[in-house]
Structure 1
């Protein structure tokens, strides 16, 4: 049972979050989910996700009370079947040369993507409860589509860049220095715009989730700025380039020593073949590891930024003390062990990473916790179900 710490002078109580799950316990759940998913040709996937969410929510203690995930498996399964049907229709149209149908399906999917995302958020929030009080996602469809504008700009940027290159090739100018320069410039502009759009889209979606999220009748409070996100992405690029440099040095050293050894073996011998195979595996493995620290660094920095700058109206706020480089070390260890165990360490890795993030967060509540919980329950009844139940398709659970 966690002990409440008191910031007495301001009447604010601090409740560190806890996670009571274990890797061994989750491994059994994960293995059953994997087995049933394989036996049902993937159709058990939504039910596996539901069981996984229920496990992690049920073992996450917020002020000594676990979260609840109450989504109905039947609704998640229906949404998954509909998604699979749409995907299969797209693949069949592409393989049978029905280009017009493919274009219609892709444009329709792009236009409906924000709607699907908004529906998914409503579904997830609606299915989450704490002390019997439900979370709600109250963003209007206009707000969801405005937040999704960077995705449309992203599409336009790439369509424009590809069109420019195709025009140059069609005019037979692809070999000239001027045409090459234009093609490179178009590609660079498309990449820069794409990165900025990706950052803005992530910022828009996270801010919308918090600012338009409610627990009971209390709205969320959002403080991070867009430039904070840009800074994290730039730092992530720096980490990635640094890791790539180190990996490149390691690969060069490995290849240099291996080539020297191969020169002393018969070119067609078994030893040479095995050595070449070993070198190939080592290079691929190192390249796979190169992106892991950067992705973990970004994930940890983003988690800390968000959870240190959000709250519930003026009555509660969160603070996060996650150490990004410690999380990077844990991720690298988990990747190595997962590869060495052919994937069977993955459940233990997931639990350890979730535990580190969860226990780094502290909830600060103004006044009595029981009083706050009672107030949230009363305000939820006052708001009623109408607002939260305009859910749409709820495709993703």
Structure 2
């Protein structure tokens, strides 16, 4: 571990997606300083907000300032301190870099956590939606290197009418070909949604070959037929095949996740998956079995283990993703959801007993919908906000109310139109999910492209395995 000390510098720049006025208000509330003093922070002078920090403390302070919208940098104390010229003083000699001393930042790390206001308390009412998005704590790959932090929102540009043409043709051709065209339908669907999902002015790509997917499905069908025939003829064979299936499933899941990953790309850099067999076996069978023995008390822990298996096994090029969450966060999340359900259940029971059974039923239905929305949105937020990629992090702020409204209204319209609204429903949900998701980019993403050139030659042999089974994070 490095013993080098660091300082936090600020030159009056704001992160993308934040208004300067909002950032000033946020910093004023965070530091509890006067209007004149907060204005002086934005005169173009590079100021040291805090110095002589350990690496972990420096990142902790930087994360708090990022939440306020300030574009700050961590610089080793030993490095020379650069000076920027204020715009109002371009013709005169640049001033010395200034240092700002404020109480929350001068306290010890533990005291600062308690003294500093929460993001909600420092956010003014006029803060935009993107400003309210709170990026998670960010590990930095190289302590001595820093980059320009910016928020890169994810966008979905597809529309229901356009996708309807693809969707209806896929259905008709799949029926006419007795299911054979389903492999091509899968590729066309994925290519449409990947191609219309954009990050930092570039679209994602789906590169799978329909023939490979069809071969995988035919192989799975053949295995299923053999299993059914042998099970009917020999009871012992069904038992042996069942046991064999348990040990084969982790391998199949890994191959499926890898097939989906290496056929997904961004800026011509392929994703990858390198999960271990033992981790897959634990996530699929061992942890769920232990959960049953503990009367489902391990559910948050099992969910965390599954998320870690998926996230930590994933790669972008040669760079691994990392899930930074803890078991405590998952137990807190599940505990709040269970408490919400119990409160609604109690209120529904009281309403039914004291007033009318119809009222109790309505409250129970509302509670059920609220809990479902909480888990639908919260599980995604919990996973995405804990994810990092070599110093880059991700942000998700799905709202339970909005999420459940889209889900219910989509279901109603799909039933009302006998399924014809399905393309619009999928596009609507994809657009909302994208609008609530962003990547906090530290520097740029160009270095991933260089790493890809060293890896592509090893991918050819892996493209032949395709299985339509797997597990998902949410």
Q: TM-score, structure 2 length as denominator?
A: 0.60
Inter-partner Cα distance in structure 1 for 2:294 and 2:251:
26
Displacement of 1:49 after TM fit? 1.8
Aligned to 1:53: 190
Displacement of 1:34 after TM fit? 1.8
Given the alignment of the two structures, is residue 84 of structure 1 paired with residue 221 of structure 2, yes or no?
A: yes
1:266-306 alpha-carbon deviations (Å, 9 max, x no partner): xxxxxxxxxxxxxxxxxxxx99x997664443221111112
Classify the secondary structure of the residue corresponding to 1:326.
helix
Classify the secondary structure of the residue corresponding to 1:76.
helix
Aligned to 1:357: 433
* Unmatched runs of 5 consecutive residues or more in structure 1: 158-188, 257-285
Taking a change above 3 Å as real, the CA distance of residues 156 and 59 of structure 1, as seen in their structure-2 partners, is closer
Given the alignment of the two structures, is residue 301 of structure 1 paired with residue 378 of structure 2, yes or no?
A: yes
Which region of structure 1 is more displaced relative to structure 2, 17-26 or 201-210? 201-210
Q: Going by fraction, where is helix more abundant, 1 or 2? A: 1
Classify the secondary structure of the residue corresponding to 1:302.
helix
Displacement of 1:66 after TM fit? 0.3
Classify the secondary structure of the residue corresponding to 2:388.
strand
Taking a change above 3 Å as real, the CA distance of residues 218 and 31 of structure 1, as seen in their structure-2 partners, is same
Classify the secondary structure of the residue corresponding to 1:17.
strand
Taking a change above 3 Å as real, the CA distance of residues 223 and 387 of structure 1, as seen in their structure-2 partners, is farther
Q: Number of paired residues?
A: 325
| Counterpart among 13, 16, 37 of residue 153 in structure 2 | 16
* Unmatched runs of 5 consecutive residues or more in structure 2: 1-14, 19-69, 74-147, 470-474
1:188-231 alpha-carbon deviations (Å, 9 max, x no partner): x84755573x6545433322332232223322122122343344
Displacement of 1:127 after TM fit? 0.7
Aligned to 1:132: 268
Aligned to 1:333: 409
Displacement of 1:243 after TM fit? 7.5
Aligned to 2:388: 311
Structural mapping, 1:152-163, within 5 Å: 152-153=285-286
Displacement of 1:32 after TM fit? 1.6
1:48-103 alpha-carbon deviations (Å, 9 max, x no partner): 22211111100000101000010111111111111122223333344x35322222
Aligned to 1:277: none
Displacement of 1:46 after TM fit? 2.8
Aligned to 2:468: 396
Taking a change above 3 Å as real, the CA distance of residues 5 and 195 of structure 1, as seen in their structure-2 partners, is same
Inter-partner Cα distance in structure 2 for 1:345 and 1:44:
22
Given the alignment of the two structures, is residue 98 of structure 1 paired with residue 234 of structure 2, yes or no?
A: yes
Structural mapping, 1:243-254, within 5 Å: 253=358
Given the alignment of the two structures, is residue 144 of structure 1 paired with residue 280 of structure 2, yes or no?
A: no
Which region of structure 1 is more displaced relative to structure 2, 63-72 or 291-300? 291-300
Displacement of 1:325 after TM fit? 2.1
| Counterpart among 19, 40, 43 of residue 177 in structure 2 | 40
Classify the secondary structure of the residue corresponding to 1:322.
coil
Question: Is the 8 Å Cα contact of residues 126 and 134 (structure 1) preserved in structure 2?
Answer: yes
Question: Is the 8 Å Cα contact of residues 387 and 393 (structure 2) preserved in structure 1?
Answer: yes
Which region of structure 1 is more displaced relative to structure 2, 318-327 or 70-79? 318-327
Given the alignment of the two structures, is residue 120 of structure 1 paired with residue 256 of structure 2, yes or no?
A: yes
Taking a change above 3 Å as real, the CA distance of residues 191 and 55 of structure 1, as seen in their structure-2 partners, is farther
Taking a change above 3 Å as real, the CA distance of residues 119 and 8 of structure 1, as seen in their structure-2 partners, is same
Displacement of 1:126 after TM fit? 0.5
Question: Is the 8 Å Cα contact of residues 229 and 302 (structure 1) preserved in structure 2?
Answer: no
Q: TM-score, structure 1 length as denominator?
A: 0.70
Question: Is the 8 Å Cα contact of residues 154 and 193 (structure 1) preserved in structure 2?
Answer: no
Structural mapping, 1:219-368, within 5 Å: 219-237=320-338, 253=358, 294-314=371-391, 316-367=392-443
1:144-188 alpha-carbon deviations (Å, 9 max, x no partner): 32343253336766xxxxxxxxxxxxxxxxxxxxxxxxxxxxxxx
